[in-house]
């Protein structure tokens, strides 16, 4: 027995020690390649414990300080034994984003798999190329015209909701964010799934669930001991996250199931005009939702998506097409409410295009609003809805004097690229004319990437800009707005998207 134990011990030592030596050696080689890149965070936890103590707004300030400290446009912060290589110099960003090799999202995106599956945001390799090709036709210009009708209808409901709120307390400021959240949710539910949930008239837990999930994922990011799924799901935060994901999946699954049954029963005929048993209208119009278009494409495809894969794509568009647009509209109104001279130019343009008309804006009229377009662009420069993107390197990458090793995670800091003082003069100033053609022509195209760039750019960016323009136009044709706080006073931070961490109070005055 003793001899057997000795043999086991010897075998264990013989296997474990080489594994430890190999790990140490690989770490040594890995770190040597990055030795000349500025770094912060000591062994063994890196900046994880420091970050855990900070609120999301405080983390924004932490990164701003590092950007000021490391002016080379690159630095590494360690989370546990994992390096995150932050880049915010356009010339560096230009090396990563156009690549067709380094398209895998960073390890942290795996934390989204239980929620978003392997949808377009999180998938990689052959699956991503297949899905991108499959989904691309659903965002054709002719399809956007159909979506424009839905956006216009939801915008009209928003103005009525704002009228009621203003009538309650005339002249009093109120928080605009819930209104933009609900109109964006209304739009994405009907355009993505063909479901009218009346989010602007009936309270829904969908937005709060998405927001809470975003917070939970960010908390997990800075706790590397929770990166293993089975450990995380044993913890209270993990159980809360899983419960929330189940609620979101239940909603999407029900809609997909009803859509499929309706398609089978109709055999290609027009969609039913009837409401379902829950009072949720999934087919009151002949125009098609993203899910309908996706099912159409899927039926033609040689390797069609499974039900779980369909749900992953729809959940991805529900998440990416709702929160991001809501914050973009909020920040645009907030900045116009702080920059009344620029707001007056918007009103002058609206008066010139619409004159005395009270009919909803058409796509053609929206295309004439060039100054409003520049206002939106400048807002997305200062407050990009997605403030950072992670990529895992599939190969060693040379970046100036630096070598970024294979398997390292690169964090493309969109927020800090957009406010890099070496690129943008007076970067915190709100100036829509930065985007006049004559002011943009010599600028590096990777200095401004609110929708990413390269093969993994945002497939829905035209849809997002159409929605933002439509909703802002509907509001600003009726009111002038004024913000209670200045940008320096408002707390904001990254919880997957760049959202306000306090109420955004604004007052509304009818246009005369």
For residues 333, 339, 342, 344, the Cα torsion angle rounded to the nearest 10 degrees is: 80
C-alpha–C-alpha distance, residues 355 and 189, integer Å: 32
C-alpha–C-alpha distance, residues 141 and 154, integer Å: 20
Query: Cα–chain-centroid distance for residue 279?
Result: 30
Question: At 268, is the secondary structure helix, strand, or coil?
Answer: coil
Helix axes 461-476, 177-188, angle to 10 degrees: 130
User: Do 186 and 321 meet the contact criterion of CB atoms below 8 Å apart?
Assistant: no
Compute how many other C-beta atoms are within 10 angstroms of the C-beta atom of residue 24.
10
C-alpha–C-alpha distance, residues 159 and 250, integer Å: 31
Q: What sign does the CA torsion over 89, 90, 91, 93 have? A: positive
Residue at token pair 């959940």: 315
Helices (H), 383-501: 414-418, 437-440, 461-476
Backbone angles phi, psi at 389, to 5 degrees: -135, 135
Half-sphere exposure at residue 26, Cβ-oriented, CA atoms within 13 angstroms: 11
C-alpha–C-alpha distance, residues 372 and 378, integer Å: 10
User: Do 252 and 315 meet the contact criterion of CB atoms below 8 Å apart?
Assistant: yes
**458 is annotated as contributing to ligand binding:** yes
Which two structure tokens, joined as six digits, stand for 71?
A: 């002016």
Which among 157, 191, 149 is positioned nearest to 282, based on CA atoms?
Answer: 191
C-alpha–C-alpha distance, residues 159 and 155, integer Å: 6
Q: Which long-range contacts (CB under 8 A, 24 or more apart) does 126-130 make?
A: 128/103, 128/456, 130/303
Which among 87, 110, 100, 165 is positioned nearest to 413, based on CA atoms?
Answer: 87
User: Do 342 and 375 meet the contact criterion of CB atoms below 8 Å apart?
Assistant: yes
Question: At 196, is the secondary structure helix, strand, or coil?
Answer: strand
C-alpha–C-alpha distance, residues 395 and 406, integer Å: 4
Residues making up the binding site for heme: 458
Residues making up the binding site: 458
């Amino acid at each position: 027995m003793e001899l057997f134990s000795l043999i086991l011990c010897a075998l264990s030592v013989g296997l474990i020690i080489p594994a430890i030596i190999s790990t140490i050696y690989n770490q040594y080689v890995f770190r040597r390649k990055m030795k000349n890149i500025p770094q912060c965070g000591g062994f063994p936890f890196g900046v994880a414990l420091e970050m855990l103590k900070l609120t999301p707004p405080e983390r924004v300030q932490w990164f701003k300080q590092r950007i000021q400290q490391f002016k080379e446009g690159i630095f590494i912060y360690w989370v546990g034994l994992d390096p995150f290589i932050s880049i915010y110099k356009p010339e560096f960003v230009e090396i990563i984003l156009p690549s067709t090799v380094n398209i895998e999202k960073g390890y942290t995106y795996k934390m989204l798999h239980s929620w978003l599956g392997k949808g377009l945001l999180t998938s990689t390799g052959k699956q991503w190329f297949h899905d991108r090709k499959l989904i691309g036709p659903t965002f054709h210009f002719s399809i956007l015209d159909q979506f424009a009708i839905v956006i216009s209808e939801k915008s009209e409901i928003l103005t009525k909701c704002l009228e009621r709120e203003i009538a309650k307390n005339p002249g009093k400021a109120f928080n605009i964010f819930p209104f933009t959240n609900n109109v964006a949710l209304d739009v994405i539910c009907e355009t993505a799934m063909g479901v009218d949930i009346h989010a602007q008239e009936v309270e829904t837990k969908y937005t709060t669930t998405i927001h809470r999930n975003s917070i939970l994922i960010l908390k997990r990011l800075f706790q590397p001991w929770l990166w293993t799924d089975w450990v995380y799901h044993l913890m209270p935060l993990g159980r809360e996250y899983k419960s929330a994901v189940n609620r979101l999946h239940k909603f999407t699954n029900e809609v997909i199931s009803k859509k499929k049954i309706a398609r089978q029963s109709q055999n290609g005929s027009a969609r039913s005009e009837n409401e379902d048993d829950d009072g949720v209208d999934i087919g009151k119009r002949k125009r098609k939702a993203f899910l309908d278009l996706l099912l159409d494409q899927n039926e033609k495809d040689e390797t069609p998506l499974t039900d779980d894969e369909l749900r992953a794509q729809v959940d991805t568009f529900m998440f990416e097409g709702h929160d991001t647009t809501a914050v973009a509209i909020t920040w645009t109104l907030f900045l116009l409410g702080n920059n009344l001279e620029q707001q007056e130019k918007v009103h002058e343009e609206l008066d010139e295009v619409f004159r005395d008309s009270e009919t909803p804006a058409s796509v053609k009229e929206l295309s004439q609003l060039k100054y409003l377009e520049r206002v939106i662009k400048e807002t997305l420069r200062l407050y990009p809805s997605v403030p950072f993107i992670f990529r895992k390197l599939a190969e060693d990458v040379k970046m100036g004097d630096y070598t970024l090793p294979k398997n390292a995670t690169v964090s493309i800091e969109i927020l800090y690229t957009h406010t890099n003082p070496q690129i943008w003069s007076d970067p915190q100033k709100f100036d829509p004319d930065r985007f006049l053609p004559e002011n943009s022509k010599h600028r590096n195209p990777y200095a401004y990437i609110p929708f990413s760039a390269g093969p993994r750019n945002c497939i829905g960016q035209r849809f997002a800009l159409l929605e933002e323009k439509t909703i802002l136009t509907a509001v600003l044709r009726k009111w002038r707005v004024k913000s209670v706080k200045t940008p320096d006073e408002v707390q904001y931070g990254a919880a997957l998207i760049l959202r306000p961490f306090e109420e955004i109070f604004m007052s509304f005055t009818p246009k005369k």
